[in-house]
């Protein structure tokens, strides 16, 4: 198993204001961010990413917009800094919300540039993005996935074509001379990742052989992984653990109490993430008709809940670490505890090769974050490698 | 009550009732709702032809249809297929936008046009809104803005059958295919409204806060010879909130 450290680079000083207003995203005025304080935090978070390389962790970066939960506005910008500060870590962009990007060829250029800069260490997530990203991008939620797939196909073609220029006159995107420079080291393209929470996403990723990632609920992940494996088998392929990824909060301590304390603070990521004004949670077209029928049936006061292994509903906004551990949202404790929990999870899921570890939740301070990273990299990762030994760290292509 | 008619390759579900002068009614983004009183009241005086827009009701939304231009041409083809003559073209809300896009192209088949609280044009500055952002406020606030009496507009979706819920979800999504960006308008339409060459009446709910009567006055100024009538105690949907007044207004205008 490979473990990827991940932080959204939160601006937690504004959380109390956002929680008071009922939205940390979209409508919380940016007067509530102090840019000088943000300067200190961003540099601190980047130092934490750099530390991952020293302790044997891979690195994942994502982006969100118009929110106090995540200051990373551009995966390529963040990874450009991190690529220069790291030597071995593979760098996962998870990812570019390509249905919200007006210019897919620019996305391909940036990904190729990062792959070249990092010596072929890039892993490339092409994601749908969260529903509340629709408003900041003013992207049309109707026919979103049609735009996604056209962008996806164009990006992969731009990255893998070596005898261009080529022409693209599609439904959403128009170019007459696509011919990106540089082109990626990893040919035909860096490994492609998708994300989602549904069986349908599992099938679609399987059809293309992409890595598929999901997050925060083993109960939702399992049907998606099973759908991936089943669809791949129909197409004559067996699915190795390297095709499946899961994101969860991971808190490690020298003592169980310390690990749980860290996990409690990291889990603020999960508690704050869904706090967004109602109209931005489900723009029409973002979710399927069937999902919308279910939501209309449940009524406006029903919140989306996940259930624990006993079937009890858990509200992400208020759950405790103990409750989160029941839903596979959090792994926490001593290195022994965490290895045991993840090993158990891996077995229940039937083999998951990538753990995307949320290791920063805002109020976890620099010293705690560093120690969490160190224990994860030095005490947990070496023992998790044994789970799926075929997935050893590959050397960078340029080394 | 409804039948399916294929026009230009698109299967349209159409509610039709009544006899006499043809009246093509183009519904608002919220839907057609022929079960509400307006439809039967109108059908006492006209042959009412009311299609569900592509993606609404059981009307098909083919992949190639994606703009209000497409809908305008589709309904012009419908008018030709039905051989409409001296018809009354009525468009409400989003349907008013479609009707105006039809009328700047071709008014053969129609002798009158009534636009009921239409969206579709942009007249104010870049940082000002003419059309309320219904997708940036709660459903409760949409009701407050769209209805003089919001209680009349409230729907308890937990009590509706799944087929109706699916139609609601599909309609909400389809509206955005046409109206997300630019939001519920065509920046160029106002420059073509001068081409409208049939008598046009704007009907406006006094309490409409999706698009206000002041915005309606801008429409009136842009359409040659257009007149405007305000309907009291109505919001964005006078046909639903004040069906008798709405129908009487259509009768009076058609006969004028």
Check B162 against A297: CB less than 8 A apart: yes
B173: chain A residues, CB-CB within 8 Å: 141-142, 284-285, 289, 292
Which one-letter DSSP state was computed for residue B53?
P
- Strand-pairing partners, residue B200, are B113
Residue A300: list chain B partners with CB under 8 A: 139
Contact assessment for residue B246 and residue B101, using Cβ atoms and an 8 Å cutoff: no
Residue A385: how many other CB atoms lie within 10 Å: 16
Mutate to test the interface with A, among B172, B177, B178 (most CBs of A within 10 A): B172
Residue numbers of B between 47 and 66 with CB closer than 8 Å to A: 63, 66
Contact B176 A140 (CB under 8 A): yes
Among candidates B138, B168, B177 on the partner chain, residue whose Cβ is nearest the Cβ of A278: B138
Run of H or E including B202: strand B200-205
Nearest to A279 among B63, B136, B158 (CB): B136
Give the A window 289-318 contacts with B, CB below 8 Å. 289-290, 292-293, 296-300
Closest-CA distance of chain A to residue B164, Å: 9
DSSP per-residue letters across B117-137: S--B---S-TTS-SS--TTSS
Is omega for the bond preceding A188 within 30 degrees of 0, making it cis? yes
CA distance B18 to B27: 18
Query: Mean pLDDT per 10-residue run, chain A (399 residues)?
Result: 97 97 97 98 98 97 97 97 98 96 97 98 97 97 97 98 97 98 98 94 97 93 97 96 97 98 96 93 94 87 64 83 94 98 97 97 96 98 90 53
Contact B173 A278 (CB under 8 A): no
C-alpha triplet B69, B94, B224: angle, nearest 5°: 75
Residue with tokens 């620019």: A106
Q: Per the CB < 8 Å rule, is A297 touching B63?
A: no
Contacts of B63 in chain A (CB under 8 A): 146, 171
Q: Minimal Cα distance from B62: which residue of A? A: A143
Distances (CA, A) of A323 to A216, A217, A219, A311, A313: 12, 12, 14, 12, 10
How far off is chain A from B178, nearest CA to CA, in Å? 9
E strand or H helix at B113: strand B110-116
ipTM: 0.95
| Domain CATH for B215 | 3.40.50.1820
pLDDT score of A306: 66
Q: How many domains does chain B have?
A: 1
Give the pLDDT of residue A397: 47
What was the pLDDT predicted at A395?
Answer: 46
- Show residues of chain B in contact with A279, CB under 8 Å: 135-139
N-term to C-term CA, chain B: 30
Q: How far apart are CA B129 and CA B165, in angstroms?
A: 30
d(Cα B212, Cα A284) in Å, to the nearest integer? 25
Which of B138, B157, B175 lies at the smallest CB-CB distance from A296?
A: B157
Nearest-5° Cα angle at A359, A356 to A363: 150
The parts of chain B modelled with pLDDT lower than 70 are none
* Interchain contact A236–B (C-beta under 8 A): no
Of B196, B7, B233, which is closest to residue B105 (Cα–Cα)?
Answer: B196
| Contact (CB, 8 A) for A6 and A215 | no
Pick from A140, A171, A284: which is nearest to B172 by CB?
A284
Q: At B23, list the tokens.
A: 């009246």
Contact (Cβ atoms closer than 8 angstroms) between residue A108 and residue A182: no
What pTM was computed for the model?
0.95
Option in A279, A296, A298 nearest B168 (CB): A296
Q: Which helix (H) or strand (E) holds B99?
A: helix B94-103
Percent of chain B whose pLDDT exceeds 90 = 98
Closest CA to A160 of A111, A125, A98: A111
Domain span including residue B30: 2-255
Question: What SS3 string covers chain A?
Answer: CEEEEECCCCCHHHHHHHHHHCCCECCCCHHHCCHHHHHHHHHHHHHHHHHHHHHCCEEEECCCCCECCCCCCCHHHHHHHHHHHCCCCCEEEEEEEHHHCCCHHHHHHHHHHHHHHCCCCEEEEEECCCHHHHHHHCCCCCCHHHHHHHHHHHHHHHHHCCCCCEEEECCCCEEEEECCCCCCCCCCCCCEEEECCCHHHHHHHHHHCCEEEEECCHHHHHHHHHHHHHHHHHCCCCCCHHHEEEEEEEEECCCHHHHHHHHHHHCHHHHHCCCCCHHHCCCCCCCCHHHHHHHHHHCCCCCCCEECCCCCEECCCCCCHHHHHHCCCEEEECHHHHHHHHHHHHHHHCCCCEEEEECCCCCCCHHHHHHHHHHHHHHHHHHHHCCCHHHCCCCCCCC
Q: Between A and B, how many residue pairs show a Cβ–Cβ distance under 8 A?
A: 70
Q: What angle do CA A384, A232, A219 make, to 5 degrees?
A: 55
A93 token code pair: 């962009």
């Amino acid at each position: 198993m490979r473990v990827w450290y991940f932080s959204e680079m939160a601006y937690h000083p504004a959380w109390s204001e956002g929680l008071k207003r009922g939205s940390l995203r979209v409508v919380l005025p940016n007067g509530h961010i102090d840019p000088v304080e943000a300067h200190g935090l961003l540099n601190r978070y980047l130092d934490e990413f750099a530390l991952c390389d020293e302790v044997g962790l891979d690195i994942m970066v994502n982006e969100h917009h118009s929110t106090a939960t995540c200051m990373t506005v551009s995966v390529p910008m963040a990874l450009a800094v991190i690529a220069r500060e790291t030597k071995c870590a593979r760098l996962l962009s998870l990812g570019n919300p390509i249905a919200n990007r007006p210019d897919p060829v620019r996305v391909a250029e940036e990904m190729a540039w990062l792959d070249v800069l990092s010596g072929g260490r890039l892993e490339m997530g092409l994601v749908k993005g969260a529903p509340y990203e629709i408003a900041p991008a003013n992207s049309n939620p109707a026919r979103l996935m049609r735009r996604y797939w056209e962008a996806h196909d164009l990006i992969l073609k731009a990255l893998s074509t070596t005898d261009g220029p080529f022409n693209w006159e599609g439904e959403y995107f128009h170019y007459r001379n696509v011919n990106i420079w540089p082109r990626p080291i990893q040919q035909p393209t860096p490994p492609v990742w998708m994300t989602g929470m549904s069986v349908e996403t599992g099938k679609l990723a399987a059809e293309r052989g992409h890595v598929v990632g999901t997050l925060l609920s083993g109960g939702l992940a399992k049907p998606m992984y099973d759908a991936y494996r089943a669809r791949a088998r129909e197409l004559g392929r067996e699915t190795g653990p390297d095709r499946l990824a899961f994101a969860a909060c991971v808190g490690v301590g020298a003592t169980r109490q310390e690990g749980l304390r860290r996990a409690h603070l990291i889990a603020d990521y999960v508690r704050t993430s869904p706090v967004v004004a109602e109209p931005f949670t489900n723009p029409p077209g973002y979710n399927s008709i069937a999902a919308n029928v279910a939501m209309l049936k449940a009524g406006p006061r029903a919140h989306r809940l996940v259930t624990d292994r006993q079937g009890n509903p858990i509200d992400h906004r208020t759950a405790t670490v103990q409750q989160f551990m029941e839903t596979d949202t959090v792994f926490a404790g001593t290195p022994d505890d965490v290895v045991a929990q993840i090993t158990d999870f891996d077995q229940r899921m039937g083999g998951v090769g990538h753990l995307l570890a949320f290791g920063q939740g805002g109020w976890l301070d620099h010293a705690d974050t560093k120690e969490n990273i160190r224990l994860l990299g030095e005490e947990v990762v070496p023992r998790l490698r044994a789970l799926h030994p075929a997935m050893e760290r590959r050397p960078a292509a340029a080394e | 009550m409804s039948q399916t008619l294929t026009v230009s390759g698109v299967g349209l579900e159409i509610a039709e009732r009544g006899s006499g002068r043809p009246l093509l009614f183009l519904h608002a983004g919220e839907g057609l709702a022929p079960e509400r009183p307006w439809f039967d009241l109108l059908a006492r005086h006209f042959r009412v032809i009311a299609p569900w827009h592509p993606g609404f009701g059981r009307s098909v939304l083919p992949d190639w249809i994606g703009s209000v231009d497409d809908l305008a041409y589709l309904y012009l083809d419908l008018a030709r297929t039905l051989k409409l003559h001296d018809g009354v073209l009525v468009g409400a809300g989003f349907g008013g936008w479609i009707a105006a896009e039809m009328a700047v192209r071709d008014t053969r088949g129609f002798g009158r046009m009534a636009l009921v609280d239409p969206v579709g044009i942009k007249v104010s500055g870049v940082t000002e809104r003419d059309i309320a952002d219904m997708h940036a406020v709660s459903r409760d606030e949409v009701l407050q803005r769209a209805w003089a009496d919001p209680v009349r507009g409230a729907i308890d979706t937990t009590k509706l059958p799944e087929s109706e819920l699916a139609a609601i979800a599909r309609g909400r999504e389809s509206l955005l295919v046409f109206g997300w960006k630019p939001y519920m308008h065509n920046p160029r339409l106002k420059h073509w409204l001068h081409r409208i060459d049939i008598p046009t009446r704007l009907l406006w709910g006094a309490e409409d806060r999706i698009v206000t009567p002041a915005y309606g006055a801008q429409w009136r100024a842009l359409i040659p010879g257009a007149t405007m009538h305000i309907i009291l105690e109505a919001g964005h949907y006078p046909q639903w909130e004040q069906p008798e007044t709405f129908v009487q207004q259509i009768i009076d205008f058609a006969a004028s």
